Amino acid sequence: MASPTVPDAVDTPWPGGTIQLDIDASDVTRATYKVTETIPVAPGTERLTLLFPQWLPGNHGPRGSLAELVDLRFTVDGKPVSWERDPIEVYAFHVDLPANARKVVARFIHTSPLQASEGRVTVTPEMLNLQWEKMSLYPAGHYVSQIRVRPSVTFPKGWTAATALDGETRAGDRYAWAETNYEELVDSPIFAGANYRRFDLGNKVSLDAVADSPELLDLAPENLAKLRALSDQALYLFGKPAFDHYEFLVALSSKIGGIGLEHLRSSENQLEPRAFVDWKGMDWDRNVLPHEFTHSWNGKYRRPAKLWTPDYRTPMQDNLLWVYEGQTQFWGQVLAVRSGVQEKDTVLGAIARAAAGLAGNPGRGWRSVEDTTFDPVFAARKPKPYASMARTEDYYWEGALVWLEADQLIREGTNGRKGLDDFAKAFFSYREGTAPTLRYGFDEVVATLNGIYPHDWASFLKDRIDLPGRGAPYAGIEKAGYQVVFKDVPNPYDKALVDKYGSLYLSHSLGMTVDKDGDVSGVVWDSPAFNAGIVTGAKIIAVDGTVYSADAMTKAITAAKSRKEPLQIVVRRGDRVMTVPVDYHDGMRWPWLVSTTPGRENGLDRLLAARRN
pLDDT at 411 exceeding the cut of 80: yes
Say yes or no: 443 and 513 in one domain.
no
Counting Cβ atoms within 10 Å, is residue 287 exposed (0-12), middle (13-18) or buried (19+)? buried
Query: Do the beta carbons of residue 513 and residue 357 sit within 8 Å?
Result: no
The answer on 457 and 349 residing in a single domain is: yes
Question: Are 465 and 526 in the same domain?
Answer: no
* Residue 582 included in any domain: yes
321 in the same domain as 389? yes
Enclosing domain of residue 555: 509-588
Q: Which residues contact 44 (CB under 8 A, 6 or more apart)?
A: none
* Four-residue CA torsion sign, 131, 136, 140, 144: negative
**Contact by Cβ (8 Å): 116, 257:** yes
pLDDT in tens, 499-533: 999 999 999 999 999 999 999 999 999 999 999 99
pLDDT tens per residue across span 10-62: 999 999 999 999 999 999 999 999 999 999 999 999 999 999 999 998 999 99
Query: In the prediction, which pLDDT does 386 show?
Result: 93
**612 confidence band (pLDDT: 50, 70, 90):** confident
Confidence of residue 470 (pLDDT cuts 50, 70, 90): very high
Three-state secondary structure string covering 456-482: CHHHHHHHHHHCCCCCCCCHHHHHCCE
Q: How much is the mean pLDDT over the chain?
A: 96
Compute the 3-state secondary structure of the chain and give helix, strand, coil in percent, each to the nearest 5: 30, 25, 40
Residue 46 lies in a domain: yes
Domain-embedded: residue 154: yes
Quote the pLDDT of residue 9.
Answer: 97
- Dist. CA 14–CA 311, nearest whole Å: 13
pLDDT at 220 over 90: yes
Q: Note whether residue 146 is domain-resident.
A: yes
State percent of the chain over pLDDT 70: 100
For residues 422 and 542, membership in a common domain is answered with no
Residues 458 and 545 in one domain: no
- The pLDDT value recorded for residue 2 is 85
Strands 83-85 and 103-111: unpaired
Domain contains 243: no
Poorest-pLDDT segment among 58-62, 237-241, 606-610 = 58-62
* 42 shares its domain with 135: yes
Total Cβ atoms within 10 A of residue 351? 28
Average pLDDT score over residue span 148-154? 98
Q: Is residue 217 part of a domain?
A: no
Q: How many residues does the chain have?
A: 613
Same domain, 317 and 379: yes
| CB neighbour class for 459 (10 Å; exposed up to 12, middle 13-18, buried from 19) | exposed
At 78-100, the pLDDT tens digits run: 999 999 999 999 999 999 999 99
Domain assignment present for residue 218? The answer is no
| pLDDT surpasses 90 at 380 | no
3-state secondary structure 399-456: HHHHHHHHHHHHHHHCCCCCCHHHHHHHHHCCCCCCCCCEEECHHHHHHHHHHHCCCC
Whether pTM > 0.95 for this model: the answer is yes
pLDDT of residue 390 exceeding 90 = yes
Domain with residue 427: its CATH number is: 1.10.390.10
Task: Answer with the one of 170, 191, 208 that is the final residue of a domain.
Answer: 170
Residue 564's domain is classified under what CATH number? Answer: 2.30.42.10
Same domain, 68 and 137: yes
pLDDT score for 17 = 97
- The pLDDT score that the predictor gives to residue 8 is 96
List strand residue ranges (DSSP E) for 341-422, in order.
Answer: none
Distance CA 295, CA 331 (A): 10
Q: Are residues 476 and 554 in the same domain?
A: no
Provide the domain count of the chain.
3
Cβ atoms of 296 and 264 within 8 Å: the answer is yes
Whether 221 is in a domain gets the answer no
Q: What is the CATH number of the domain that holds 92?
A: 2.60.40.3650
Taking each helix axis from N to C terminus, what angle separates 288-297 and 326-339, rounded to the nearest 10 degrees? 120
Residue 1's pLDDT is what? 73
Burial bucket for residue 468 (CB in 10 Å: 0-12, 13-18, 19+): middle
Report pLDDT for 6: 95
Question: Rounded to whole angstroms, what are the CA distances from 177 to 73, 206, 224, 313, 337?
Answer: 25, 18, 29, 26, 37
The verdict on 443 and 526 lying in the same domain is no
Question: Do residues 462 and 548 both lie within one domain?
Answer: no
